[in-house]
Structure 1
Amino acid sequence: MTSSSDSIDVLELTVERIQAGFADGTLSAAALCTAYLARIERINPRYNAIIFLNPAALDDAREIDRRRAAGETLGPLAGVPVVVKDTMDMVGFPTTGGWSLLYSKTGGVDLLPATDSPVVARMRAAGCVILGKTNVPVLSATGSHANDSWAGPTLNAVDPAFMPGGSSAGTATAVAASLAVLGLAEETGGSIQNPASAQALVGIKPTFALVPNAGVMPLAGSTRDVVGPIARCVRDAALTLDLLAGYSPEDAKTVAAVGMRPRGGYAAGLRTDALQGRRLGLYGPGWRDRALSAETIELYRRAQQEMSARGAVLLDDPFAASGFADLGQPAPGSDHFDARGMETLPYDMQKYLERLGPDAAVKSWRDFVAATRAEDPFAPTGVLTYMSSLPDFAACLADPAAPPASTAFFALRERYLEIFADVMARHALDGLVFPQLRDALPPREGTETLHETTVCEINIAGLPGVTVPAGYYASGSPFNLIFVGAQWSETALLAMAYDYESATRHRRAPDLKP
């Protein structure tokens, strides 16, 4: 007999458990959706993860129940409640980018898409029940929090005093707080890996061009931006990547993904012996000359022992003397944020706005500038002021309709990939495994930012990374590892993360305060 929504405990529910309930008739998509909506009503006002609820969610869930009752064969995510990041176009909802100037109810103009972004369309086609859209900082400009959003700050579900990570702060908090089973995030400079690590979650930063990012408000859509899942376990993240990955006619660069997805899918490759015999490089100054805190070193040492016990072979700082660390050029005023590649923003935004449709209130970069001239994001006090230091930005700004001059950026990517491939081959490495953050989370209030280890290197190089919970600091701040590999190596990275997760089970449900 199907459970009523009142009797469903959604805390830390996985896709596997949900599908088992659907299969034995003890769970329906409608009851599950209702239970999540009730939890959102109770928890979300404090944590502010979801900024738009989908009024059609329950009807969508009932349709999944009807299709299942009719004997239709449905996929593993059919009926599963999910959230999507605000920056992803979804018909019926404005795409606000966290900015009051891009939302009519705060005095701005609405960007209303005529069609779903490909990633949202793929989630809908798979039968996912989209509960709503999640909070982001203004123009997704920070990887640390969402304090400046028109909707107000999003809090970290692990502890509201900590930074939640950004810019996919809302997606991470919604998943960490069990307001949804999983969520879609997007990254230009840490916006998947940072919030996932800040809230003890699994995040997949995919290889550039594996997943289409058309219809997603860009920061560097043609050079760096990627869409990926955030989930509470590796299997759920892998199942989501199975849906998202692959060629889309709406995004020409995804032709590079043809032939790169594993037969049977990413989830099918998960194994509990995947670390056995794998050679993994460890973090050191050869990768980036930024030290780990003393407590991070201790937590990392324990994680190394755990991986060694699974049969992994670990190598200290394989990038030493390779020249890799010398490639980084941190933007002025940042700890280590390298903004190169983001000079394409005017062009990428022009293409994004054109896709909104003929009835859109804002159709071009010129319209966008006019609608938002009250706050210049590139001014000295603007959220994107660092872009002014990029050598090709002025030219891109002068003619946003022209394909940007990206020669220097792609030469840099080639150099990163050349050194990466050489080091991996010379040491016969199967991947890298680093602490994703160099120290514990700073407080949400204040001027400090998250101190990560891999953001700009793998964003510029277009490499994939998978974060996985690996413990907690004494303060309660999460400690996550990130597995990094060559382009298109998501199958191996997910398998290793799954092996580690299965053996350690470090993630724990947060103690929420409604």
Structure 2
Amino acid sequence: MRHLRLPAFPLPSAEIDMIGWTIPDLRAGYEAGRFSASAVAAACLARIARLEPYLNAFISVNMALMEDAAQVDAEWRAGVRKGPLHGVPIIIKDNMNVAGVRTTAGYAGFASDDRVVDPSGGVFNGIDLVPERDASVVSRLKQAGALIVGKSNLPDFGLDGLRADSSYNGDTLNPYDARFAPGASSTGSAAGVAAGFGIASLGTDTAGSILFPASAQSLVGLKPSFGMVPIDGVFPGLSSHHDVAGPIAKTVSDVAILMDVLAGPASADPRTARRAGRPDFVSALDAHAFKGARIGLFEPGQWAPDLHPAVAEHYHVMTEVLTGLGAELVPVVFADTDWRARWESRTSFVGTNSYLAGVDAFLGALGGSNPASRSAFRERAGFEIGVATTAPLHGLLSSATINVGAEDAGMVAVIEQAAALRAHYEAILRDKRIDALFFPRSVNPLPDIGGDTLAYLGDQVVGTEINEMGLPVVTVPAGFLEDGRPIAVDIVGAAIDTDAAILAFAYAFEQATLLRRPPPLSS
């Protein structure tokens, strides 16, 4: 907790169970008048004060949280009900803009109370980036009445697939065991939920950054379809067709409640206008969703290599759960097609991307006196964005040899190629009448925190592929291995915009198994 400050708060009520309660539990308590939003906020802050020095899940906490909670209490007394999250404490990732609050994206260079060392140029103080407007996801949370608890820790620019290791704020630990990797860049968002600092959180995903931390900390995480949730006001804007923001929570139901808020009304953007008739996510939940469904299984060599023996044994048990729920399991979906050959012939986002253009776009939208571009930042700060970063993937993605403009012909070709691959994927599943895919989250067990980032990214059964095609995936707790490491399963949509369908499957699996348990920090 190198930089963190907390607002003053009263002693919390022992009645409030931040570690176990869900959004419906909280709302029921409000409706019955059993506690106030101020008491809930105090409970969050008390847990943060006690556990945050150990976990390091936050970069900043909302210093006006108690004032915001008092406003919610006044609204409840006046009969005002803003929405399904009214008085619900939510954590957001610190690559998301909150008006008037600094966005660090985990990088010391974006913080005036820190510094960077440029081996060729000297030592420089960072520069605060303070946006004038909320990111759309934050605005939608506020409109639904959420209490924003604070901004979670992340690796520099969100570019580490294993841990936080922020150059500004250091590492976040896994609440289940400090030895275990906390999982990819949304790890602070996940740790905050697992530890009871908030009821739910938001993360972002480029190649597993929602799915990995949720699975590593026995939580539910949804990587939505591309375009389902707006990403304006989110750093770094890696790709105009790739990045997503999405929820992390303890239950599938809570994720569905959040999605009803985050997805919002249909967009006027022609790329997302297909969502005009999007379903109500909560209403779509169905404990019997697997009955009669055809579910595709893991095929070695198609998405990933053979499974580790412990993972394979566990996965087999999980597939038997689906059989018991009435699903028809389909072991061969892609192996008898040309899918793999076509996939391997593509130009991937690490071969051509618009990361640097995304950074410029993010800076340009901050408003006020903020530097409006990378060159303006360099002129004011004295160093290039990325100097002294701890993120192992920044050098790869920021390479000038692979970066093009968002509208460049090379980028357009990559996007069109991804769309064609998605259409081919959807056609295969449609022809074989597959309703969803059911996979282990990782080929290998969760590694230790000192593991190798690129190896961990490669452990994913689905990750980069699903992001490049814009398909939805939900990861669901599936218990623990013998040594206590959390393990999870993924449910992948058969097509884009099947988010509600996979949440229905996830809910059925969750209700049949109830394999999640809270971390040992809960006392």
1:219 Cα deviation after fit: 4.2
Instruction: Tell me the residue number matched to 1:256.
Output: 273
Q: Distance in 2 between matches of 1:496 and 1:211?
A: 20
Instruction: Tell me the residue number matched to 2:394.
Output: 384
Q: Check 1:125–1:380 CA distance in 2 against 1; reply closer, same or farther (3 A cut).
A: closer
1:300 Cα deviation after fit: 0.4
CA contact (8 A) 2:237 2:362 kept: no
Query: Is structure 2 residue 179 aligned with structure 1 residue 171?
Result: no
Residue among 505, 508, 511 paired with 2:517:
508
- The letter of the residue matching 1:137 is P
CA contact (8 A) 1:287 1:317 kept: no
SS of structure 1 residue aligned to 2:433:
coil
Residue among 444, 456, 463 paired with 2:464:
456
Instruction: Tell me the residue number matched to 1:154.
Output: 172
Deviation sequence 1:399-441 (CA, Å, 0-9, x none):
x596563133123212321321122022101011101111111
Residue among 333, 350, 355 paired with 2:365:
355
1:378 Cα deviation after fit: 11
Q: Distance in 2 between matches of 1:284 and 1:372?
A: 51
Q: Distance in 1 between matches of 2:64 and 2:350?
A: 40
Q: Check 1:327–1:456 CA distance in 2 against 1; reply closer, same or farther (3 A cut).
A: farther
1:37 Cα deviation after fit: 0.7
SS of structure 1 residue aligned to 2:490:
strand
SS of structure 2 residue aligned to 1:184:
strand
Q: Distance in 2 between matches of 1:199 and 1:7?
A: 25
Instruction: Tell me the residue number matched to 1:437.
Output: 442
CA contact (8 A) 1:285 1:317 kept: no
Residue among 412, 417, 423 paired with 2:422:
417
Residue among 408, 411, 422 paired with 2:413:
408
Query: Is structure 2 residue 296 aligned with structure 1 residue 281?
Result: yes
Q: Distance in 2 between matches of 1:179 and 1:365?
A: 35
Deviation sequence 1:270-316 (CA, Å, 0-9, x none):
11111111111011135324221111111100000111101111111
CA contact (8 A) 1:247 1:254 kept: no
Q: Distance in 2 between matches of 1:148 and 1:67?
A: 38
Structure 1 residues 78-87 or 420-429, which shifts more?
420-429
Instruction: Tell me the residue number matched to 2:3.
Output: none
SS of structure 1 residue aligned to 2:229:
coil
SS of structure 1 residue aligned to 2:410:
coil
Query: Is structure 2 residue 322 aligned with structure 1 residue 307?
Result: yes
Deviation sequence 1:324-345 (CA, Å, 0-9, x none):
33345699xxxxx953486111
Across the aligned residues of Structure 1 and Structure 2, the Cα RMSD in angstroms comes to 2.6
Q: Distance in 2 between matches of 1:20 and 1:200?
A: 25
What is the number of equivalent residue pairs in this alignment?
Answer: 498
- The letter of the residue matching 2:184 is G
Deviation sequence 1:467-494 (CA, Å, 0-9, x none):
1111111121111111111101011100
1:5 Cα deviation after fit: 2.4
Residue among 368, 374, 387 paired with 1:365:
374
SS of structure 2 residue aligned to 1:104:
coil
SS of structure 2 residue aligned to 1:326:
helix
CA contact (8 A) 1:49 1:135 kept: yes
- The letter of the residue matching 2:256 is A
CA contact (8 A) 1:285 1:325 kept: no
Residue among 91, 95, 98 paired with 1:90:
98
Structure 1 residues 314-323 or 18-27, which shifts more?
314-323
Deviation sequence 1:90-144 (CA, Å, 0-9, x none):
1232111111111111021111100110100111111101110000101111121
SS of structure 2 residue aligned to 1:259:
helix
Residue among 90, 99, 115 paired with 2:133:
115
Query: Is structure 2 residue 40 aligned with structure 1 residue 32?
Result: yes
Q: Distance in 2 between matches of 1:369 and 1:109?
A: 10
TM-score by length of 1: 0.91
Q: Check 1:380–1:271 CA distance in 2 against 1; reply closer, same or farther (3 A cut).
A: closer
Instruction: Tell me the residue number matched to 2:214.
Output: 196
Q: Distance in 1 between matches of 2:166 and 2:137?
A: 26
1:210 Cα deviation after fit: 0.8
Deviation sequence 1:434-464 (CA, Å, 0-9, x none):
0111111111024354221111111000000
Instruction: Tell me the residue number matched to 1:334.
Output: none
Q: Check 1:55–1:463 CA distance in 2 against 1; reply closer, same or farther (3 A cut).
A: same
Query: Is structure 2 residue 437 aligned with structure 1 residue 447?
Result: no
Deviation sequence 1:198-230 (CA, Å, 0-9, x none):
111101100101111000012424120101000
Q: Which runs of 5+ in 1 are unaligned?
A: 332-336
1:61 Cα deviation after fit: 1.3
- The letter of the residue matching 2:272 is V
Q: Which runs of 5+ in 2 are unaligned?
A: 1-10, 115-124
Q: Summarize the alignment of residues 189-338 of structure 1 with structure 2, pairs less than 5 Å apart.
A: 189-246=207-264, 252=269, 255-262=272-279, 265-285=280-300, 287-328=302-343
Q: Summarize the alignment of residues 11-160 of structure 1 with structure 2, pairs less than 5 Å apart.
A: 11-106=19-114, 107-160=125-178
CA contact (8 A) 1:469 1:506 kept: yes
Q: Check 1:142–1:328 CA distance in 2 against 1; reply closer, same or farther (3 A cut).
A: farther
Structure 1 residues 342-351 or 99-108, which shifts more?
342-351
Structure 1 residues 91-100 or 317-326, which shifts more?
317-326
Q: Check 1:79–1:290 CA distance in 2 against 1; reply closer, same or farther (3 A cut).
A: same
